Structure 1
Amino acid sequence: MNLSAFAQKKILLAKPRGGNITIDGKAEEEEWHKNAEIASDFIMFSPDNGKVISEDKKTDVKILYDNDAIYILAILNDNEPSKIQKELTQRDIFGVADHFAVYINGFDDGQQDYRFFVSAAGTQMDCLATEETEDFSWDAIWQSSVKITATGWTVEMRIPYAALRFPKNKNQKWGINFMREIQRKNQKYTWNYVNAKIGAVLTQSGKLEGIENINPPTRLFFIPYASAYYQKDSFNTDKTFKAGLDIKYGINDAFTLDAILVPDFGQTKFDNAILNLEPFEQELNENRPFFTEGTNLFNIGNLFYSRRIGGIPTQTPNVAENEEITNSPSNVDLINAVKISGRTKKGLGIGFLNAITEQTFATIKNNDSNIDRKEVIEPLTNYNILVLDQRFRQNSSVSFINTNTTRNGGFRDANVAGVVFDLNTKANTYSLKGDFKYSSINEANNYDGFKTYLDFAKTSGKYRYNVSGKYISENYDVNDLGIIFYTNYHNFYANGSYRILNPTKVFNTFNFEQEINIEIQNNTGKLQESWYKTILKATTLKNHYLEFGIITSPYENFDFYEARTSGRYVYIPSRFESYIGLETNKNNNLTFDLYLSGIKYNEKNRTTFNINTGPKYRFNNKLSLAYYIDYTYKRNDLGWVAFDNADIIFAKRNTETFQNNFTGKYSLTDKMTINLTARYYWSYSSNKEFYTLNSIGYVDPNDTFKMNKDRNFNSWNLDLSYSWWFAPGSQLSILYRNYAQEETNKVEQSLNRNIGSIFNANMTNIFSVSLRYFIDYNSVKNKF
């Protein structure tokens, strides 16, 4: 097949809108049929890259514009309209459905797309996309409607300029591409050809021209909210009412200010509590909308872990022998937060985020005098992050990032600065990436640290590779506004891969990879980690996904963190690991996922086994249920349990973890859904033999340590929610939440008794109603 004819970028000319257009999916307006240009001749992106769309799936797209928005009509022919997949889901969930999308880059710089999807069921999805990620936490306000017809389906979209970013030019020239997904065949087509041999996708868009002399209205939006909560447990009841305001203001055509006043995150998804036996904190997902929406600039360089803001207090109160802590908040309250982000016409992205958390106290009671005192466990704290991201040559960037944490009074302050670069050849065949980051901590003993990284890769063709090296100093510390676990090492990493770019007689996709990684601790020269990995990934012609991997660690490694003491370490024996994964075709009503893995250590009877599996059943386009089990068993695991005077005590232990997840979805319409999420988690650690860690990283038997360090952990969470997007950007949410958690040092190995125990524990029940209403300043202004 000669693909050279597809290499030139297609150009589509947008036409000005004359009469009114109703977004109803019917495309009956004369405007669509007078003089609008047609974008057609779609080309398959996957699985058979480069194949021209068949006549019976012919796809035509038209674009009109006015002073407020662009209007898109897509006519998607299908000779089997009864087979069009159209599962109803909530916003940003793709489900099993056909999709149409438009990818828009207002700067035509090949660096970031604003992507707008609509399913054949009418569900909207939108995201900010770079080559590395698609950020679906970003939500814009736009209109769409679909209609199933006798010859396929149609889509109408209205995307206001307020949802986009572009330079203030008389003549707009945007990057644009359209994507059509035919779900039952797992096929994706694009208007402008995207060559799968080239790793970069965003640079392969077409061009949209013709938008002229537009004067977009002021981008000023108010989102007031009101929430009511009723909470009850075995001892107390509580009623809470909250009200606040979010503000979004377009400073100019490219930059936007977002602010939250009196924040309320009471209906965000619950955290998955675990029995954490590791030497590190549990890394939690961010579920608060302000810190997930449109934060792609702030995530450059991986220096921003937003859960630090309003997270766990950093100080531990000092308690005398005759005192006890009667109240210690588990989280710090956020006072307010603001972020400004955007990009100039010359490709300079600027992001600034600032947040303030309040001073937080623990209450301590003197048992002799019965007098309470308060002690600061988190001072008034200011967090900010500044990002400058210069993009150039359609596919490269250099970025500067600075994060700062300033705590009131004599508490710890921190500053981290970094430079990150991503350079690609003009043809997107090779890349050079790297960074240099420097941290500075101001406390009783000030210290500085740094980290640097360099990666060279071949990013195109069937055969690809990359090699990288990293150095992290001992005192490199980003944990005040970022998160890092391992420091004080240098490493070498290499990867080579082979992939097919078009289907064969056996596979739709096939990828074979080889990886090697070596990490050496800086002070001792000992291996911190070393492994060789072989991975095979494939999709069959029936669209079942398979993955298989083998990881060998032939050398003894050393863990410099498990001992919980600076300068001490413990050995990790050589080991062999393997895993296999299977995902059945998602188009089937009944689907099944399976993941099996195992580790065999070069140590008598020391093994790890994991299985993650479960079915999902789609009863119809509205209702689906899924159940997953995640089970892990570690036999004769070796880990830290205590300090005994100057001794570091380890134990041989068996641990089991049993997690059950149940989810259900019932979509009444494309804007109204009922969702159920339930999670039961049980884990225990049973110590068999105690040891003392010696000075060279091995353990010696300890027959004198008799403390009970077993642990049994139970957790239950249930969320049942109703969500109704009753107007653009406006939502009514009703949530019932039910949860409990308990932990003891008495191991109970009966699952039934553990389940009974958690449901007999102090269960907290919360019922809440939240209303958010989107107000466009221009609409209000016109009314008055």
Structure 2
Amino acid sequence: MKKITSFHYVSNFLVLFFSVFILTAQEKKTLEATRINTSIKIDGLLDDAIWHELPTYGNFNMYQPGNEGTITEEYRTEVKMAYDDKAIYVAAYMFHPNPEEILSQFSQRDEVFVQADNFTFAINTLNDGINETRFFVTSAGTIGDSSVTLNNQDFGYNVVFECRVSKDNKGWYAEYRIPYNALRFPEVDVQNWSVNFYRRLVKENETHTWNFIENGVGRETQYNGNITGVSNIDPPVRLTLFPFAQGLVTNFDGETESDFSAGMDVKYGLSDNFTLDATLIPDFGQASFDNVRLNLGPFEQTFNENRQFFTEGIDLFQKGGIFFSRRVGNGPSGSVGELAENEEVIEFPRRVKLLNALKISGRTKQGLGVGFFNSITERTFAKINDTVSGETREVLVEPLSNYNIVVLDQQFNENSSISIINTNVTRDGSFRDANTSAFVFNVADKKNHYGASGRAIASNVYENGGVTSGFLSELDIAKIYGNFRYRVGHDFSNTTYDINDLGLNFRNNFNNFVAGVSYEIFEPTNTFNRYRIGFTGRHNRLYKPNVQTSNTYNLDVFFSTVKRLSFGGNLGYNSDTDDYFEPRVQGRFVTFNENLGGRIWVSTDYRKKFALDAGVGYRNYFNDPQKNYFFDFSPRYRFSDKLLVVYRLDYSNINNGFGYIDNNDFNVFLGQRIVTNIENQITANYNFDPYKAIDLRFRNFWSTADYSDEIFFKLNDDGTRTRFDYDTSENNPNRNFNIWNLDLSFRWRFAPGSEATLLYRNQIFNLDEQSTIGYGESLNRLFNQPQQNTVSLRITYFIDYNNIKYWFDKNS
């Protein structure tokens, strides 16, 4: 096999980097911001005298569903911009011939893509064509904000700003106040900023932009217009405090416990463009529940991050994909070790307590992003009981641990970046430590015609006095413009690659190749607003030994009509697949037969009160009795602009499949099974206004793994199976899994940046071996289990140092 060396990656990168072209720049508009000395009342009415004196900017362009077409006078949009020593002010006039027809569904903070028109003020204070802060408002008054950089838009980004809206017989209006502590900009005499404005008309299915954006070429952030006139402003002291208090009462199996906690999140501007975020004495008791499932596979079950500190402003730390935030404060990394014959574990902690965490991030005027992350978790113990003497002892399963990340990210050419990132986990004592480093690049030529991306990662695990090193590399080269596009790529990992102390990887030891082509339209036709057809082929191999594991081919299609009916599907073929992970024994593999299957789906127009998402799929295995069936069904009904209810049903059935059940020193045992999954979810939102809402989130997941046909196998060395009379008396593989979660909350954003949340949570769980019972009987068994009921109240208050300083200065 030809060895992949770092020289190949460097040479490919240099060829692409130096084969840049001169960009024929689209003419950019210019907006002159006006300094004002009079105060503006932010009420959305735009009746302050100053707005009548400022210059108006309009002549918006078509952006979606395509660039073609003109915007008539009756749908025109106009903007005005002003600033003073404390903030930026923006007025937006969205004219409409029939204002009563403007969709205006209520929603809460950051939920801006609902059935309501919206307006976006997008500002780039570095004018680098890459980084941008966006401030949204809907026609119902909901505000939102996001941070945009290259391929990512982060709605976890949250700052405090004001915006109000109003309506009359000519249209609707928005009035912004963006305080300077919500932005990062250099301390210079004259600011070099850029801006664009977006207006989304839901009923008309159009998006208009102030500065023209060419569909299908480059990124939106490269098309901003220029802002002139902003001078002699000083970045304020960016110190904001978010103290919180939380009270909680929990009842479980007849026992009631109560708890009170308090803490604070801090944001501090270390310099013009760098901010420190810290959480002191954190408490994540109101984080959303995890979507737990019955896990029959060889890999750990993972969940999305629901803790705000770890979802806000983490774009830099996600470079290279080697940071998985759920590792911090997750389950212990150690075990209880060998137990005596009469000992048993009576308490093993599910979580490790997070003591504190901080992150520092920012970007220089030269486009260099710098990030530092640190968190500390406390010592955690399991309890062991001696069933003879009755004595208990504690075993340390997680020592005092420190997690660090350092990242440098250099951006250039308004469309490219290269990054270096390092993660480190240090545990006190003789526990496992880890260190991982990555080089990441995402580059394109100046015309945005061709691009390349990739990463090279080195992992090091320190354990038992030794170090185990591993390596992974990825490279993709693609044509990134035009209707017809293509890409080729290569993924490689050796057998010892492991980033799971602070990252997430399920597999190593691979040497895979991929190629894909696609065709899509960027201008609507008479029938379709958009469609895309893509085909991808993969050739998968092991690194050691150098053997093929599978070939896969996938066809994906997506269509969206001018009447907002979307539909599509996928068709996939897998060759015989040698799975080296399912046996759970190093060097062994099981062969899954070739198979063909796919899914088709449809999504109706969300602008209507009733809409439906649905899909159905099937997969057939050749020369094997396994067949997979699955469907999903999700109706939604918008009773009014205040109340939306969504129901979702997911059903899947794997009939006559097989998988791992056990192994000993000599053999791996597999069993034929029927796996059935039924998941019911209900979400309901009642919004009193953009500041107060009642939210209901319900989930019931039922799964069975039924081996009652008693067809068992012994795994052969060549991956095939031989029938075997497996004794289930010692290890019954049948499973009946049922879990119920219900969250009912009332949220009230009672002041800018300040919020109170009252939450009721109900949880029930059951796992047994009754795999042949029906759904109804499984629910009965579930409701016979002890329930956990929790009521909590959390209040967070926003404090701006500048307001305190102003208040004291005024009083003095």
TM over 0.5: yes
1: CA distance, partners of 2:26 / 2:665? 71
2:103 aligns to what? 85
Identify the match of residue 597 of structure 2 among 538, 557, 577: 577
Cα distance per residue 1:307-348 (max 9 Å; x no partner): 000001111212222101111111100000010011011111
Query: Number of matched residues?
Result: 779
2:41 is aligned with 1:41: no
Which of 702, 720, 723 is 2:744 aligned to? Answer: 720
Rounded to whole Å, the distance in 2 between the matches of 1:667 and 1:518 is 50
Distance 1:672 1:481 in 2: 37
1:527–1:556 contact (8 Å) kept in structure 2: no
Matched, 1:509 2:533: no
Contact 1:18 1:31 in 2 (8 A): no
Partners of 1:617 and 1:32 in 2: CA distance: 40
CA offset digits 1:704-745 (Å, max 9, x no partner): 433421011010000000000000110010000000111012
CA contact (8 A) 1:219 1:249 kept: yes
Q: Deviations over 1:342-395 (max 9, x none)?
A: 101111101111000011000101122221111011111100111100111111
Matched residue, 1:595: 615
Structure 1 residue 109 corresponds to structure 2 residue 133: no
* Cα distance between partner residues in 1 of 2:585 and 2:24: 64
The aligned amino acid for 2:713 is Y
What is the DSSP-based 3-state SS (H/G/I as helix, E as strand, rest coil) of the residue aligned with 1:162?
Answer: helix
Q: State the Cα distance separating 1:748 from its structure 2 match.
A: 4.2
1:751 is aligned with what amino acid?
A: Y
Q: Which residue of 2 aligns with 1:523?
A: 544
In 1, Cα distance between equivalents of 2:298 and 2:218: 38
* Closer/same/farther in 2, CA of residues 442 and 6 from structure 1, 3 Å limit: closer
SS of the residue 1:248 aligns to: strand
Q: Which amino acid aligns with 1:385?
A: I
Residue 496 (structure 2) aligns with: 475
Counterpart contact for 1:109–1:395, Cα < 8 Å = no
Deviation readout 1:623-681 (Å, 9 max, x if unpaired): 11111001110011111011244221111100000000001000001010100000011
Partner of 2:16: none
Q: Which runs of 5+ in 2 are unaligned?
A: 1-22
Aligned counterpart, 2:142: 123
Give the 5 Å matches for 1:610-625. Answer: 610-625=630-645
Paired position in structure 1 for 2:70: 52
The aligned counterpart of 2:695 is 675
Residues 281-680 of structure 1 aligned to structure 2 (within 5 Å)? 281-318=300-337, 319-444=339-464, 445-553=466-574, 555-680=575-700
Equivalent positions of 1:90-239 (< 5 A) are 90-93=108-111, 94-239=113-258
Aligned-residue offset at 1:166: 1.9
Tell me how far apart the structure 1 counterparts of residues 657 and 399 of structure 2 sit (CA, whole Å): 40
What's the CA shift for 1:50?
4.0
Q: 1:266 aligns with which of 264, 274, 285?
A: 285
CA separation of 1:182/1:429 partners in 2, compared to 1, >3 Å: closer, same or farther?
same
Whether the 8 Å CA contact 2:185–2:235 is kept in 1: the answer is no
The answer to whether the 8 A contact 1:218-1:778 is kept is yes
Matched, 1:705 2:727: yes
Q: Quote how far apart the aligned CAs of 1:90 are.
A: 1.3
Unmatched 5+ stretches in structure 1: none
Q: Report the Cα distance in structure 1 between the residues aligned to 2:634 and 2:252, rounded to whole angstroms.
A: 32
Change (3 A) 1:205 1:626: same
- In structure 2, what is the Cα distance between the partners aligned to 1:698 and 1:314? 35
Which residue in the other structure is 2:758 paired with? 734
CA distance in 2, matches of 1:257, 1:737: 33
Residue 5 of structure 1 deviates from its aligned partner by 12
Amino acid at match of 1:539: S
Q: CA deviation at 1:557?
A: 1.3
- Could you say what secondary structure the match of 1:52 adopts? coil
Matched, 1:761 2:780: no
Are the aligned partners of 2:189 and 2:231 in contact in 1 as well (CA < 8 Å)? yes
Once residues 81 and 760 of structure 1 are traced to their aligned partners in structure 2, the CA distance between those partners, rounded to angstroms, is 54
Tell me the distance in 2 between the aligned counterparts of 1:359 and 1:5.
59
Q: Is the 8 A contact 1:246 1:259 kept in 2?
A: yes
TM-score by length of 2: 0.94
Question: How far apart are the structure 2 equivalents of 1:38 and 1:569?
Answer: 69
- What does 1:13-52 align with in structure 2 at a 5 Å threshold? 13-34=32-53, 36-52=54-70
The secondary structure found in structure 1 opposite 2:713 is strand
Deviates more, 1:51-60 or 1:241-250: 51-60
Partner of 2:271: 252
Q: In percent, how many aligned pairs have the same letter?
A: 38
SS at the partner of 2:160?
coil
C-alpha distance in structure 2 between counterparts of 1:621 and 1:289, whole Å: 28
RMSD: 1.4
Structure 1 residue 426, shift from structure 2 partner: 0.7
| Alpha carbons 1:56, 1:78 under 8 Å: kept | yes
Asked if 1 retains the 8 angstrom alpha-carbon contact of 2:495 and 2:508, the reply is: yes
Task: Tell me the amino acid that sits aligned with residue 160 of structure 2.
Answer: I
TM-score (norm 1): 0.98
**What letter is aligned with 2:544?**
N
Equivalent in the alignment of 2:8: none
Matched position secondary structure for 1:32: helix
TM-superposition CA deviations, 1:577-614 (whole Å, max 9, x none)? 21111111110100100122221111332111111112
CA distance in 1, matches of 2:498, 2:664: 29
Structure 1 residue 254: Cα displacement: 0.3
For the structure 1 residues 558 and 758, does the alpha-carbon distance in structure 2 shift closer, same or farther, using more than 3 Å as the test?
same
Q: C-alpha separation between the residues in 2 aligned to 1:97 and 1:357?
A: 43
Q: State the one-letter code of the partner of 1:77.
A: F
Match of 1:8 among 21, 27, 37: 27
Which residue in the other structure is 2:20 paired with?
none
Read off the aligned partner of 2:794 and give its amino acid letter. Answer: S
